[in-house]
Structure 1
Amino acid sequence: MVRFCASTLWLLGLSFFSVQLLAAPASHYSVGYHRLTFADPLDGQAMQAYAFYPTQARVHAGLVDGYDIAAGEDSPIALGRFPVLMLSHGNNGTPLALHDLITTIARQGFVVVAVLHPGDNYLDQSRLGTLSNLYGRPLQISAAITAVLAEPMLSPFVNVGQVGVIGYSAGGETALILSGAQPDLQRLRDYCAQYPSDQDACKAHGELVADRDDLAPQADPRVRALLLMAPLSLMFGRHTLEDVNVPTLIYAGDHDQLVAYDKNAGALARKLPRHPQYRLLAGAGHFVFLAPCSAEQAARAPALCADGEGVDRVSIHKSLVSEAGTFFSQALGTASRAGLQTADQ
């Protein structure tokens, strides 16, 4: 297990299980995207996010911050009020490293907002190892929800009563705080006393830099469902999870060498007061949740692209997205035309 999930400058962070899957929502849309800029609640500086949404326009693949993504910038949004899914990436990462999950879920009738966390991304790691990052990431997701609801292009087409969070790696920790979890910093210290060789988790002996004394974990009542992938959740004991009562779907790999599933996802699945759906992927590692790599990407970052023998990343993603669509549709509801006002697009 590591406290900080490694990544390169351009990436973040089937199994042999069998599960009965209900039919996911039909993928009858193309995907558009809109760039959002709003104030970081920690310092007032501008931060960025991408809102990916259903469109009936014809779109073509193009580069979005270096990723080849089949989405059209500012294409007209399909008519409807769609559930909103916020995506929180891992330490040092970028949400666009999960672009195939984002676009495939958006095609099923969801608005997926991919937030780039200031101070903890592939370009800027200035807040890593600090309390401001631990407590600030959830505040940034909340600010992004508010920004979507205030954005004239998006607000007529989203439903504030249908908000979920997708959290990958450290983004899982962020998602849990948003749903009411309270980090226990002593649990990290205790872990590091027992496993001091975990250099990533236990820099400074598991002590986070107390750079802000005005921040605390803050839940967002708008969040009503969670999808967690390889979630970092070491700091949450059973008593600190008492207020997490939203539907939760957890995915993890049993060969994760970075965020050990037994100390994180597996333990979390046992402790949540509302029994989650838990999928443990045989042979899968931490980076199996990133988009399948091109040959060029595999040559540039083999550690992030190579999977264990018998692990088919493409098949895993197909099953994951199918189940995620069904899960969020059941937990949040599907798109509605009720109350929709005609908008000039």
Structure 2
Amino acid sequence: MSKIMKRSASRARSLSVWAISMLIAQQGIAAEYTAGVRQMVVPSDERNTDLKVTIWYPASSGGEAVMLGENVFFNGTPAMQDAPFIDGEFPLVLLSHGAGLAGRSEAMSWIATPLAENGFIVAAPTHPGNTGPDRSAAETMKLWLRPADISDTLDAIEASPTFQRHVASDRIGVLGLSMGGNTALSLAGAKLEPELLASYCDTDELNPSLCDWVRMSGVDLHAMDKTTAGRDNTDPRVRFAMAIDPAPADIFSPESLPEISIPVYVVNLGSASEIPASI
């Protein structure tokens, strides 16, 4: 399984760098940069906890060599911890990870590092309750909280003297993988439909692995408090979105989709015959 996932990761990385470059009319970078990396803590009132955020960026020489994201699913990628920023303004990609054992910000280094090497700043929060051995089915299925994690991260970057002067404010986008793809679509303007979310695991037709975990964890989506599930999570600062294998992708209000006004790319990995109809 790990070899398949690593091949998919390589393809996703290539597609993402290409698609994001097309979306934002990248400024003609002639040479690759060194990828720097830093961590920051971002407060979240809604989560009632702090978000752990990893940020990759084009760096000048310096810092300490580190390897991020090495696990059974993905090859790790090198970066320079706390290296100085290189001069200039760069597009910002807000990155949302998926849910599961590899679902954390550092695990996205396979895509964040090459983006930084090609002139992007990449900021990825770890979504609480969605990751590693501490993951919770109940927290994971509160999909409407994830976009707020991304917006809180952007607030912190814009308020940071270290980062804000390097961000091209008119070139900010969001990129998500799997459940992170759902997050990216929400930030673009797609609104969750609470009743579709409630019935998502009534059968195994849509997402057997996710729904098996939800049921085994004793979570009843019908009983879950979804008071704010259908809220508008659009962030007007986000100018483009890319969703790789978004899941769940069929719980959005159809009426909200035509209202999306920014460029959106949806990428499905694998052969067409193997892609479930729901995504």
TM-score, L = length of structure 2 = 0.75
1:120 aligns with 2:130: yes
2:250 pairs with 219, 234, 242, which one? 234
Distance change (3 Å), C-alpha of 1:97 and 1:242: same
Aligned to 1:109: 119
Q: Which has the larger radius of gyration?
A: 1
Inter-partner Cα distance in structure 1 for 2:39 and 2:201: 40
C-alpha displacement of 1:195: 3.9
Q: List alignment gaps of at least 5 residues for structure 2.
A: none
Which amino acid is the alignment partner of residue 210 of structure 1?
A: M
C-alpha displacement of 1:38: 1.1
Deviation per CA, 1:230-265: give whole Å up to 9, x if none: 1111212532312222112222124599x944211x
The structure in which a higher percent of residues are helix is 2
Aligned to 1:158: 167
Distance change (3 Å), C-alpha of 1:207 and 1:44: closer
Inter-partner Cα distance in structure 1 for 2:65 and 2:177: 24
1:150-189 equivalence runs, <5 A: 150-188=159-197
Inter-partner Cα distance in structure 1 for 2:121 and 2:98: 20
Higher relative contact order (CA closer than 8 Å, sequence separation 6+): 1
C-alpha displacement of 1:46: 1.6
Which amino acid is the alignment partner of residue 234 of structure 2?
A: A
1:262 aligns with 2:277: yes
Aligned to 1:342: none
1:275-314 equivalence runs, <5 A: none
Aligned to 1:291: none
Which amino acid is the alignment partner of residue 222 of structure 1?
A: R
Inter-partner Cα distance in structure 2 for 1:42 and 1:236: 22
TM-score, L = length of structure 1 = 0.62
1:210 pairs with 224, 230, 238, which one? 224
Distance change (3 Å), C-alpha of 1:105 and 1:262: same
C-alpha displacement of 1:95: 3.0
1:248 aligns with 2:264: yes
Q: List alignment gaps of at least 5 residues for structure 1.
A: 1-6, 265-345
Which amino acid is the alignment partner of residue 152 of structure 1?
A: P
Aligned to 1:82: 90
1:55 aligns with 2:64: no
Which amino acid is the alignment partner of residue 246 of structure 2?
A: P
Aligned to 2:147: 138
Inter-partner Cα distance in structure 2 for 1:142 and 1:169: 19
Deviation per CA, 1:27-63: give whole Å up to 9, x if none: 4211111111011232332211111000131667423
Aligned to 2:110: 100
| Aligned residue pairs, count | 249
